[in-house]
Amino acid sequence: MCFNKQNHPMMKSMTVVVVGGGVVGFSTAVCIAEALPYCSVTLIADRFTPDTTSDVAAGILICSPFPDIPLEQQQRWFKETIDHLLAIAQSEQASEAGVLLSSGWQIHKELPVDKVPFWSAFVLGFRIMTDRELKRFPDHKFGQAFTTVKCECSNYLPWMEKRFRKAGGQVVKQKVNDLQELSSQGYDVIVNCSGLGAKSLVGDSQVYPVRGQVLKVQAPWLQHFIRDGEGQSYIYPGMHSVTVGGTRQVDDWRLEVDPEDSQDILERCSSLEPSLSRARVLGESVGLRPSRKNVRVEREMVLLGSRQVPVVHNYGHGGWGVSLSWGTALEALGLVRKCLHERPPRARL
């Protein structure tokens, strides 16, 4: 947790703006506001819950590795996130925050390269599935059983916004098309958590959408998650419904629900869990994962107007935004600290 509420000689003498209102944006804003009480922190976004990509996410904590980021760093991000969410899941805030424990199976049609994934030490009770357990999945040769955390962003984002405001944060609904638009505000540091928006906001051509479609169904008898190891098909029981999915359509910008995709999802998931064929569909939704070969968590100096302003980037998490949200927020907080320490406070007239 990033708590540090001691008085600081530069009380509210520095200003930080966070661009982005998804799970990465709010996690980062909360970390900064709670850890740096001498900073005035504003979060700006054009979309908030329930209209963010995070709201579509099933929010189950697992992850695939990014190719060019040290594995130890990715392990730290995952561990910091799951530890943060486990603490919430074990608190009286759990139901309001939408954070719960979830047990189940990840199954594979072929033996995976990593039988023991890099995050296995941080979930609870990770083990290889027994032959008896695998018997119910005849098309699959191998599986992993574990307990992880499910974070329901339709609850978690409003809870995080409340926490941010309690730490003195301000929230502004506004579309930022270009960082130059922020130059007149005189912010000391800009934090870019714009996800897919970074493609236009900072001209990052490495960001691309991976379209995901899910259905919410009423199936209260289902208690365990089932995830196909390729991540194409999954069944995640939650607080109010079961999320079934999904699709991974690269460079597909369509936000409309595709009835053929829905039919395909229900058929695939019913082959894993036949009782789903009796479940009532409550809703369908689409989200565009903000994908990038490697998540970008770094700082750079950007010329805004006549002034060089430090910009801390924290975006490009793909489908792992929830799973790495707190860890990369802490990383971004460390970069913000560096920016502020290297920069004397400007005289305020």
Which residues are documented as binding site for D-dopa?
234, 289, 319
Extract the annotated binding site for FAD: 46-47, 53-54, 176
Do the strands 189-192 and 307-315 form a parallel or antiparallel pair, or are they unpaired? parallel
Q: How far is CA 120 from CA 79, 116, 222, 234, 268, in A?
A: 10, 6, 24, 19, 26
SS3 helix, strand, coil % of the chain, rounded to 5?
A: 35, 30, 40
Q: What is the DSSP letter of 313?
A: E
- The answer to whether residues 248 and 291 touch, using CB atoms and an 8 Å cutoff, is no
Q: Where are the beta strands (DSSP E) in the chain?
A: 14-19, 39-45, 99-108, 124-128, 142-151, 170-173, 189-192, 208-218, 225-228, 234-237, 242-245, 249-250, 280-291, 296-304, 307-315
Extract the annotated binding site: 46-47, 53-54, 176, 234, 289, 319
Buried b (16+ CB within 10 A) or exposed e, 103-122: ebbbbbeeebeeeebebeeb
